[in-house]
Amino acid sequence: MEARYTYRLQVSPAQQRALQEVFDSCRFVWNTSLGRWSDLWRYEQVPLGYVSMAAELTDWRGRYEWLAAVPVTPQQQVQRDLDKAVRAFYDKEHPGRRPRFKKKGSHSTASWNVNGFSLRGDRLCGAVKGGRTPLRVVWSRALPSVPKSVTVYRDAAGRWWASFVVRIGPEDLGATGATTGLDVGLARFATTEFADADIPNPRFARQAAKALARSQRNLSRKVKGSHNRAKAKTATAKVAAHTASQRKDWQHKQACKLARRLDRIGVEDLRIKNMVRNRRLSRAISDAGWGDFLSVLAWQARKVGHEVVRLDPRYTTQTCSGCGAKAKHRLGLAERTFWCDGCGLVEDRDRNAARNLNPDRWDKSVRVGQGVDGRKTLVPAGTEAA
């Protein structure tokens, strides 16, 4: 399977200008190719595929010297991405969004395949100007295999990154014999059947709220279009980027512990986009990052040969994990203890829900009114390695 390993880049001012030329050329190729596709389809009903776009790219590089002065590999990759976007747009089963034009300053990324770059020590060669200005990579860890491609980009905080795609093999840890359900929440981030495996809520955004508000007030005082406003905007982005990095690192560490300890983990199939519409809880839900964590958990489990199963969340809180009876019609958020009138079970509401989410209990049809038909395997949304 494939994974991404991301590293910081140390880029000099001259290299920044050279990379910006590459980004600008990619934006030009995207917008021009998208315009050609749109015109041909609108007026002549002729589809413009990658082969035709690549032929036009050769003509453009012959006409524009500035376009030919930068590497061709990122420009070809842009056209491949556009071709995929167009195909997804016409997909009837899972249609994608119509490709849009990229504004100036909004495109700060470029990709090279294995034929467009090389690694020499701590240097990334071939990214700009034919390898005459190699980029220094801060190797925080070694790559597990030879990379297939690399993406160089600059984030909103002004940091430069190199993201390598490598092929890795799953680590076979064998069966541990332990399974559990996992109930996510706000008071406690994640609750399992085992008290020592529960995860507290770190609330990174709440901790950085004062610093973020201070930077935003400073940004609001700056004149639009001024150099000071650009610096204040970068400072605000750095605060947000630091919080996002904290959350991402924490998610991978916690997910790795759970994935290595448990063979199967049942999680709720939540509609988080609908949940954040609640104005009282939207900020806390966004700070928790449930969706990203569940994707990371699925990826970590996949790496070690274990499984994460997404289950129907309906009635997991109201159903008794002891006898399977639906003990209450509704359990308010203020009620933190579950009790069953049928069997007399008294349990923490989140612990009770975690037991109801155990995939083994679903397989045995323990829960009343629910079966294995509502269960589906969770497919990870990303392949970020930790």
Task: For residue 138, give the 3-state DSSP assignment.
Answer: strand
Helices 50-63, 13-39: crossing angle, 10 deg rounding = 130
Give yes or no: 172 in active site.
no
Q: Is 292 in contact with 370 (CB distance < 8 Å)?
A: no
What is the DSSP secondary-structure string of 262-319? -SEEEEE---HHHHTT-TTTHHHHHHHTHHHHHHHHHHHHHHTT-EEEEE--TTTTTB
- Give the residue carrying structure tokens 């509609």: 271
Q: Which among 193, 263, 268, 287 is annotated as catalytic?
A: 268
Strands (E), 146-225: 149-154, 160-167, 179-184, 190-191
- Return the DSSP state at 384: B
For residue 110, the surrounding DSSP H or E stretch is: strand 109-113
Q: Report the alpha-carbon distance of residue 320 to residue 322 in Å, rounded.
A: 5
Q: Which among 198, 292, 350, 384 is annotated as catalytic?
A: 350
Give yes or no: 350 in active site.
yes
The tokens of 72 are what? 């061709």
Give yes or no: 263 in active site.
no
Q: Is 191 in contact with 183 (CB distance < 8 Å)?
A: yes
Measured between alpha carbons, how far apart are the two ends of the chain, in Å?
Answer: 15
Dihedral sign from CA coordinates of 379, 290, 300, 139? positive
Q: Report the alpha-carbon distance of residue 386 to residue 379 in Å, rounded.
A: 18
Q: Which among 183, 198, 287, 292 is annotated as catalytic?
A: 183
The tokens of 215 are what? 């930077």
**What percent helix, strand, coil does the chain show, rounded to 5?**
45, 20, 40
Q: In 10 A of CB 234, how many CB atoms? A: 15
Task: From residue 164, give the alpha-carbon distance in Å to each of 76, 156, 287, 378, 384.
Answer: 18, 20, 28, 25, 11
Task: For residue 140, give the 3-state DSSP assignment.
Answer: coil
What are the residue numbers of the active site? 183, 268, 350
